[in-house]
Amino acid sequence: MRPMLATHAEHVPPGEEWLHEVKWDGVRALTEVVDGTLRMTSRNENAITIAWPELATSPLGDRDLLVDGEIIALNERGLPDFRTLQDRMHVRKATSAARLAEQVPAIYMVFDLLRLDGRDLTDQPLEARRALLEGLGLDGAWQVPAAYDDGAMLFDATLAQDLEGIVSKHRTSRYRFGERTTLWRKHAHRHRVTYVVGGWRPQEGTTDRLAALLVGEPTPEGLLYRGRVGSGIGAKQSRALTELVAGLGRDASPFADEVPRVDARGTHWLEPVLVVDIDTHGRGYSRLRQPSFQGVRTDLTPEDL
């Protein structure tokens, strides 16, 4: 099962037929409890239960359940931040996961209820599913985030609080696994965009110290070059990225368009399979402006973009 997805929108939809929620900067997860066994899966259907031991016990015990939500952790400013999850989301060893859970505790923001006690709720309108969800009394490691009637207010409030953005959902929307729908619309404040890596460049004066990534945007015309990103790649990130690109080398550029000579010089070309998040100064430009590397998205593939 893959979760239902929202479409990007430029404006918050007005009207009483919409509910509005905070857009959480975390890892999407579907969680199912069947015959007392809990299983969490990522948006690309990978099993991730072992990475989140503090979330792997349902607050409803053994009750049959299927929910959708976002796993978040707070940064030093007390804000949800995807980067705080980087060291946790790839862990597949129970002892390491338990240690990291103590250091960086996670919270599961449960925003949709899809099945309860054997009853399929996906054909119920969102408003009805929310009412049932809010009546479960979830608190602690699993929480139900608030929904708001005033989207403009929430947009301004989340902007002022430096949160990622908001998601607007039509009250009548049914849940359709794996579909991207205009009945759910997301509005991000940060200019964080997800790209595909097509090459890497070493630090000047070295041959093997990864210092920058060349990234592109998947389009019907192929992978189009969007820029070179070096900011945000410190020693720790460089080592991790070096391991991830090992074995992905290729002889020619994977980009469908021409990479400027200043960027192509000295670049090691890669098979376009690695997905990363980049913060940029603005949208709507053919090249990234003041980009900064934010993290690898192992929960996404180029096809998801």
For residue 224, give the nearest of 259, 192, 193, 252 by alpha carbon.
259
Q: What is the pLDDT of residue 190?
A: 63
User: Is residue 218 within 8 Å of 305, Cβ to Cβ?
Assistant: yes
DSSP string, 106-153: -EEEEEEEEEETTEE-TTS-HHHHHHHHHTT---TTEE----BS-HHH
SS3 158: helix
Q: What is the pLDDT of residue 281?
A: 57
Q: Look up residue 80 and give its DSSP letter.
A: B
Domains: count for the chain: 2
- Catalytic residue list: 23
Residue 161 sits in the same domain as residue 280: no
CA 154 to CA 20: how far, in whole Å? Answer: 7
Q: What is the pLDDT of residue 159?
A: 87
CA 68 to CA 169: how far, in whole Å? Answer: 14
| Domain extent for 23 | 5-188
Q: Per-residue pLDDT tens for 8-30?
A: 898 999 999 999 999 998 999 99
More confident site: 286 or 293: 293
Find the DSSP H helices in the chain. 94-103, 126-134, 151-160, 235-245, 261-264
Tokens standing for 216?
A: 């592109």
Residue 174 sits in the same domain as residue 86: yes
Residue 129 sits in the same domain as residue 197: no
Q: Among positive and negative, which fits the CA dihedral 108, 280, 301, 228?
A: negative
Tokens standing for 37?
A: 């066994």
Residue 153 sits in the same domain as residue 44: yes
Residue 138 sits in the same domain as residue 202: no
**Among 188, 204, 227, where does a domain finish?**
188
CA 74 to CA 109: how far, in whole Å? Answer: 13
Tokens standing for 97?
A: 């996961």
For 30, the enclosing helix (H) or strand (E) is strand 27-34
**Among 170, 188, 206, where does a domain finish?**
188
Q: Among positive and negative, which fits the CA dihedral 180, 70, 277, 90?
A: negative
Q: What is the pLDDT of residue 12?
A: 96
Q: Per-residue pLDDT tens for 232-243?
A: 999 999 999 999
Q: Per-residue pLDDT tens for 24-57?
A: 989 999 999 999 999 999 998 999 999 999 999 9
Looking up residue 273, the CATH number of its domain turns out to be 2.40.50.140
Q: CA-CA-CA-CA torsion for 197, 283, 263, 221, nearest 10 degrees?
A: 60
**Among 188, 223, 246, where does a domain finish?**
188
Q: Per-residue pLDDT tens for 199-246?
A: 999 988 887 899 999 999 999 999 999 999 999 999 999 999 999 999
For 223, the enclosing helix (H) or strand (E) is strand 222-229
Residue 107 sits in the same domain as residue 243: no
Residue 163 sits in the same domain as residue 24: yes
Residue 55 sits in the same domain as residue 173: yes
Q: Is the pLDDT of residue 284 over 80?
A: no
Residue 144 sits in the same domain as residue 24: yes
